[in-house]
Structure 1
Amino acid sequence: MTMWIPNIEAAAGPIYLAIADALEGDIQAGALAQGDRLPPQRELAYQLGVTLGTITRAYGEAERRRLVKGETGRGTYVASETQKVSPLVPQEDEPEACDLARNFAYPHLNPSLAEGLVRMAKTNGIDRLNGFVPSEGLRAHRETGVLVFKDYGLEADPARVAVTCGAQHGIQVTCQALFRTGDAVAVDRFTYPSIFSSLSSLGLKAVPLPALRREDGGFGAMDPDALASAARTHGVKGVFLMPNMQNPTTHTMSITEREDLVRVARENDLKIVEDDPYTPFLPETLPSFGALAPELTASIASISKVCSPGSRIGFVHVPASFGDSIRNKIGESTWMASPITAELIAGWVREGLLFRTLRLKRKANRSRFLNAREILAPHFLQSGTDKVFGWLRLPDQVDPDALQAALGHQGVSVLSSRHFQVRDYESAPYVRLTFGSEPSDDRFVWALKRIRSTINQLADLPELTRPVG
């Protein structure tokens, strides 16, 4: 830890801003370097003779300026000036690899874009879509969102639905509408990677919480007792959840797990943000948090994994009291989602093409999962025939980052557990494998065999030969 004491003797104005300004100046002067840990807030408050609240506001302002990064339970660090491009983001000229890292969910089975555009060209009043529309989207497109939300176990009100530029944009505007700068939001210990940067960019703090453990040793839902404790000790104002096919563990919450978390949310007045991009792949529709706690919940839906990531269309459904705020946040960020691509999706929904596409993808996914379970045995793969990725448990002696790197040299991409948790946490012995980004069945099987062989080499285990059914 760097014993940094800012010079604020000549400061005029609020002390917390003077501390943040001094921090920025010392970083620019080289007195503080990337990765340096700042003093604990109580200690710095004592050294400067100010209140703890002043230091909290100063560190919050520094994080808003992206000067520092706060890690729950670990402290506050000087942030990197530049960040590497996420491995989840495709590059136009990237080397060819067998992609089991990114979860694109069988894009080679998506509907024909050419046919969809031809159909759109014949739509009456198509020219209207080439102009400005309300920030929440046209009613016809919001009603498409209502149909999509039915697959999510939610009877949505079109007046409370807004069209967004995909689920990621939906998360951004929803968190902006529901929370204030400095609020803490509970997340699963292992969760959707982009949520950490999304919350940080909005001045919100992610508080990672443990999951319950299942009888088979896999991960269950977020521990409701841990959530209740976080509300008391960390002052969390809300919780981000993926109730169906949680990313990366694949767990789908039971009714009891959902009801237990709703109870804690109500007792502590916590807002719930539920994101469920993989729900349409599941054979059973369970009640969403938006149905169980409509007064607390903002629900996010997207068809990117189902049929059209290129359309960048998603939907949010929020409590009525946040409707104006959502419209404003969409307007401030992008004015509106594209009504042109919203109409493309609406046509596919009306024609039943979404269901036909899902049927093809479910069939392909069943085969891929069965191959993965067979080839990777005896290593535990938390997944299922209706799950489009798997959470693979590694032998304790295998470092997941070393496995990711070793496979990368062999032309196979996977993601270690490090990508799904708060930065600087120790990696856990898991990797996520996706089933649908690689179009070739033969290459997918080849990649699974490379994964098995490399795990055994790193763990110094004998390589077994087993038939692939």
Structure 2
Amino acid sequence: MTNWLPDLSHGSGPLYARLADRIEADIGRGVLPSGAKLPPQRDLAYDLGVTIGTVGRAYGLLRERGLVSGEVGRGTYVLGHGEPDAVPIPISLGGTRSAVPGEDKLRMDSTAAPEVGQASIIGELGHQIVRQYPDAIVNYVRAPAPDWLDAGTRWLTTGAWRPSPDTIVPTLGGHAAILAVIAAVTAPGDRIAFDQLTYSSIARSANLIGRRIVSIGADGDGTDPGDFERLCAQQHPKLAFLIPGLHNPTLTVMPESRRRAIVEIARKHNVWLVEDAIYAALLEEQPVSIAELAPERTFHVGGLSKTVAAGVRAGWVACPPHMAPRVQVAYKMLTGGNPFLMCELAARLVLSGEADAIRSRVSAELQLREKLARERLAGHDFASHGHAPFLWLKLAEPWLSGTFRQAAANEGVLIDDEDEFKSGRTEQVYHRVRVGFSSLPRADAEDGFDRLRSLLDNPMAGYDSYG
């Protein structure tokens, strides 16, 4: 629709609502027929003299009315009468991220492993599996294959600690593994302890299945033992969820002395521990794992999403002795079980050595991008790590975390504000945002850094709103 331009000179109310109403009217009059592509948000914003955010909100309102459908990379199209909207409407359980990112957005709210040529390797292994196991592909998985357990053992091994295959449960990613552990060792109403800042999707998921969330304070070395001790004495949590290596989002690596202190408190109060090692697998030097310090109470979780390929959905959990069958049952009850193709693919990636080779290339790519971030954002305060796929950006006055996230979105960059990582309500304010730079092409990451730099250098731009 290169010659179409809506007239916004008439009407009242917010500009984005008037734009949505005008587009709806033109759809109704046939000016915009079924299948017509609406202009890209940036182009229409320029032609109308408004912000991209105004156009984005208008397009979002049209999606909610069932009038258009948007697909990342393809654009926004007018739907026919009775045609279902293919894009889901965001719901509150999903956190602060929109389920409909919109077109022309740079997704810097994801930390999946960057593209380093995985597809050809995964494609070849997948072809081998389908050719060798045609019967297994079309059937249910009754029990994990020995190779799947061996792969988990190999992938989760850190330093001197090597889990036994009989402690391994293969899962569809780390998130599913952690939820299975929570379901296996806690009951509705039990309290689960999380850092105040953490991978909050687990906290929300636990809350969804009836567990109560309590928050632990933290400092520059990670989880605060003193606050953990206080919490255990007063709140009696059944389980604590920890990210001791490359913490998400603060990038803290918990020192060994702190790990030992946390373990002793957990033993004293009989608290189960979940050690999320998804990001720790990117570290060149592996600190002693909590599972090595407290094997009798620690569930050690790892996977391939940050190091190999998120789309494979591969994860493993190493359980304390005799707990694997219980976690396996809980996992199957929650998810319906594992697909043969994905678990066999994950095992072959690991046992063939391809996963390690990909991890090395991913690590090298992340180092280049982290260096690029330090160059493009020089002079601004942020935490980063040469092997991590994100940075934790400190905002100067007058920025608030949520305000900066919205301003970045208006500039076409999707990032996460601090609320995305809060395990619960807290008076603590960090004035930070997380910027992921791994799951989009390197040139787009560079573009994203430049757009964020422009906002940081010109804070008044964040107040430009016609909505």
TM-score range, shorter chain: 0.7 to 0.9
Q: In the alignment, residue 432 of structure 2 is paired with which amino acid?
A: Y
Decide whether the 8 Å contact of 2:113 with 2:310 is kept in 1. Answer: no
Distance in 2 between residues matched to 1:263 and 1:281, nearest whole Å: 27
Match of 2:79?
Answer: none
Match of 1:407?
Answer: 408
Q: In the alignment, residue 142 of structure 1 is paired with which amino acid?
A: L
For 1:181, which of 181, 184, 188 is the aligned residue?
Answer: 188
Offset of residue 422 of structure 1:
3.8
Match of 1:110?
Answer: 118
CA shift in 2, pair 1:84/1:197, >3 Å: closer
Match of 2:106?
Answer: 98
SS of the residue corresponding to residue 236 of structure 1 reads coil
Decide whether the 8 Å contact of 1:105 with 1:435 is kept in 2. Answer: no
Distance in 2 between residues matched to 1:322 and 1:254, nearest whole Å: 28
Decide whether the 8 Å contact of 1:400 with 1:430 is kept in 2. Answer: yes
Decide whether the 8 Å contact of 2:196 with 2:424 is kept in 1. Answer: no
Offset of residue 399 of structure 1:
0.6
Distance in 2 between residues matched to 1:196 and 1:96, nearest whole Å: 31
Offset of residue 261 of structure 1:
0.9
Residue-by-residue CA offset, 1:294-349 (whole Å, 9 max, x unaligned): 01111111112222322222111111242332122122123421121111111122
Match of 2:331?
Answer: 330
SS of the residue corresponding to residue 146 of structure 1 reads helix
Counterparts of 1:58-457 in structure 2 under 5 Å?
83=92, 85-86=94-95, 91=100, 94-107=102-115, 109-112=117-120, 113-123=122-132, 125=133, 127-135=135-143, 137-151=144-158, 154-213=161-220, 220-425=221-426, 427-439=429-441, 441-457=442-458
Offset of residue 87 of structure 1:
5.5
Distance in 2 between residues matched to 1:316 and 1:253, nearest whole Å: 20
CA shift in 2, pair 1:459/1:259, >3 Å: farther
CA shift in 2, pair 1:460/1:85, >3 Å: closer
SS of the residue corresponding to residue 458 of structure 2 reads helix
Distance in 2 between residues matched to 1:152 and 1:240, nearest whole Å: 22
SS of the residue corresponding to residue 254 of structure 2 reads coil
Decide whether the 8 Å contact of 2:179 with 2:202 is kept in 1. Answer: no
Query: For structure 2, which runs of at least 5 residues remain unmatched after alignment?
Result: 1-89, 463-467
Q: In the alignment, residue 281 of structure 1 is paired with which amino acid?
A: L
CA shift in 2, pair 1:202/1:341, >3 Å: same
Decide whether the 8 Å contact of 2:263 with 2:290 is kept in 1. Answer: yes
Distance in 1 between residues matched to 2:309 and 2:438, nearest whole Å: 14
Decide whether the 8 Å contact of 1:152 with 1:279 is kept in 2. Answer: no
Distance in 1 between residues matched to 2:393 and 2:117, nearest whole Å: 25
Q: In the alignment, residue 125 of structure 2 is paired with which amino acid?
A: G
Residue-by-residue CA offset, 1:216-272 (whole Å, 9 max, x unaligned): xxxx21001100000011122221001111111111112112111111111211110
Offset of residue 132 of structure 1:
3.0
Distance in 1 between residues matched to 2:193 and 2:437, nearest whole Å: 29
Distance in 2 between residues matched to 1:165 and 1:230, nearest whole Å: 32
Residue-by-residue CA offset, 1:47-78 (whole Å, 9 max, x unaligned): xxxxxxxxxxxxxxxxxxxxxxxxxxxxxxxx
Decide whether the 8 Å contact of 2:243 with 2:275 is kept in 1. Answer: yes
Decide whether the 8 Å contact of 1:130 with 1:340 is kept in 2. Answer: no
Q: In the alignment, residue 435 of structure 2 is paired with which amino acid?
A: L
What count of residue pairs does the alignment treat as equivalent? 371
Decide whether the 8 Å contact of 1:153 with 1:285 is kept in 2. Answer: no
CA shift in 2, pair 1:88/1:261, >3 Å: same
Q: In the alignment, residue 115 of structure 1 is paired with which amino acid?
A: E
Q: Which moved more, 1:418-427 or 1:243-252?
A: 418-427
SS of the residue corresponding to residue 238 of structure 2 reads strand
Distance in 1 between residues matched to 2:328 and 2:447, nearest whole Å: 48
Offset of residue 456 of structure 1:
2.6
Offset of residue 188 of structure 1:
0.8
Decide whether the 8 Å contact of 1:418 with 1:425 is kept in 2. Answer: no
Query: For structure 1, which runs of at least 5 residues remain unmatched after alignment?
Result: 1-80, 214-219, 462-469
Decide whether the 8 Å contact of 1:100 with 1:433 is kept in 2. Answer: yes
Distance in 2 between residues matched to 1:105 and 1:128, nearest whole Å: 29
Offset of residue 173 of structure 1:
0.6
SS of the residue corresponding to residue 392 of structure 1 reads strand
SS of the residue corresponding to residue 449 of structure 2 reads helix
Offset of residue 158 of structure 1:
0.9
Distance in 2 between residues matched to 1:396 and 1:321, nearest whole Å: 53
Q: In the alignment, residue 103 of structure 2 is paired with which amino acid?
A: P
SS of the residue corresponding to residue 336 of structure 1 reads coil
Higher relative contact order (CA 8 A, sep 6+): 2
Distance in 2 between residues matched to 1:397 and 1:271, nearest whole Å: 42
Q: Which moved more, 1:100-109 or 1:192-201?
A: 100-109
CA shift in 2, pair 1:396/1:154, >3 Å: farther
Q: What is the percentage of aligned positions where both structures have the same residue?
A: 23
Residue-by-residue CA offset, 1:359-378 (whole Å, 9 max, x unaligned): 21111111111121222232
Decide whether the 8 Å contact of 1:154 with 1:291 is kept in 2. Answer: yes
Distance in 2 between residues matched to 1:331 and 1:368, nearest whole Å: 38
Q: In the alignment, residue 349 of structure 2 is paired with which amino acid?
A: W
Distance in 1 between residues matched to 2:159 and 2:461, nearest whole Å: 44
